[in-house]
Amino acid sequence: MKKSIRIALLITVLALLLSGCVFGGSKKIGKDAALQIALTDAGLTSSQIVDLDIEVERDMRTSWYEIDFESGRTEYEYKIDAFSGEILSARTD
């Protein structure tokens, strides 16, 4: 009896993991969408920027996009939540 309970528990855990219910069931917005969020916030278009760099960063709880670009003499740095699209930080130099 104990063996069948363990097997049922194992099957349940595996099913949850495979379905994404436990770890990261949400889909990331993607690099293009994250860039568009940053550009809209900066009031720029893709044709107005140079030196674009987009990286995905993650820790144990979430993921975000780090987006860096330049326009004219201004440098822009954004952190965009990879799942919600929320701007976590924005900085210009």
Q: Would you state the pLDDT for residue 55?
A: 97
In CATH terms, the fold of domain 27-92 is Nuclear Transport Factor 2; Chain: A, (3.10.450)
β-partners of residue 76 are 69, 92
In the chain, domain spans: 27-92
pLDDT digits (tens, 9 = 90+) for 14-69: 555 444 444 555 799 999 999 999 999 999 999 999 999 999 999 998 999 999 99
Q: Would you state the pLDDT for residue 26?
A: 75
Which pair of tokens denotes residue 54? 């987009």
Residue 2 confidence class, pLDDT cut points 50, 70, 90: low
Asked if pLDDT for residue 10 goes beyond 50, the answer is yes
Q: 77 near 67, Cβ under 8 Å?
A: yes
Instruction: State pTM to two decimals.
Output: 0.72
